[in-house]
Amino acid sequence: MKLLDIITYGHPTLRMKAADYHRDEINHNFIDDLLNTMYEKDGIGLAAPQVDVSRQVLAATDLQNEYILINPKIIAHSESSTVDIEGCLSIPGFQANVSRYDKIVVKAQDPEGKNFEITTRGLLARVLQHEIDHLNGILYIDRAEPGSVVRLTDDPNNEGTIHKPVLLKELQSHFKERYHSERQTDFQRRTPLEIV
């Protein structure tokens, strides 16, 4: 199993709508790598576009079971929503408050190409909404409650993490620099489909 490279905010693939993942394209090694990368990076969800593969497939866990959803669609949701903290492996070092439906019903295919439906609430419902957004080029900061974005830094006195409120503009300039210094050559070298 491989550890896949996670692209960060500013990379164009994160803003593309991912293409349907056709049954005859499904690559089990890639799905194993996606799950493995999610666990290795201590994530609870990872969508293929985050590893520069613009296809409709995501991995998620509710810390008990793991889930692979291919071509997922939210077909129903509760009227009620809850605001909670979210972060993203593609926007490391930041968090924000995001409102998500409490309960959703998702239609998808499994790695064998079989259709299934999942009704879920709480943490997994939140994770799936976050990851399905990735498949549509949407990031959690697009849905963040106004003024709730914070930058996380280590307290120099070793007393935990400092949550410093930041403007979206500051977050953008933070990643713009990183992207241009670390990611540009990587992006130029690889095509989004090379890994599939």
Residues lying near Zn ion in the complex (CB under 5 A) are found at 88
Q: Which is nearer to Zn ion, 98 or 108 (CB)?
A: 98
CB of 88 to Zn ion, least distance (A): 3
Q: Which is nearer to Zn ion, 117 or 142 (CB)?
A: 142
CB of 174 to Zn ion, least distance (A): 16
Q: Is 131 a catalytic residue?
A: yes
Q: Which is nearer to Zn ion, 35 or 88 (CB)?
A: 88
DSSP string, the chain: --PPPPP-TT-GGGGSPPBP--GGG--HHHHHHHHHHHHHTT-SEEEGGGGT--BSEEEEE-SSSEEEEEEEEEEEE-S-EEEEEE--TTSTTEEEEEEEESEEEEEEE-TTS-EEEEEEEHHHHHHHHHHHHHHTT--GGGSBPTT--EEEEE-TTSSSEEEEE--HHHHHHHHHHHIIIIIHHHHHH--TTTT-
Q: Which of 131, 159, 177, 194 is catalytic?
A: 131
Residue nearest to Zn ion (CB): 88
CB of 86 to Zn ion, least distance (A): 8
Residues classed as catalytic = 131
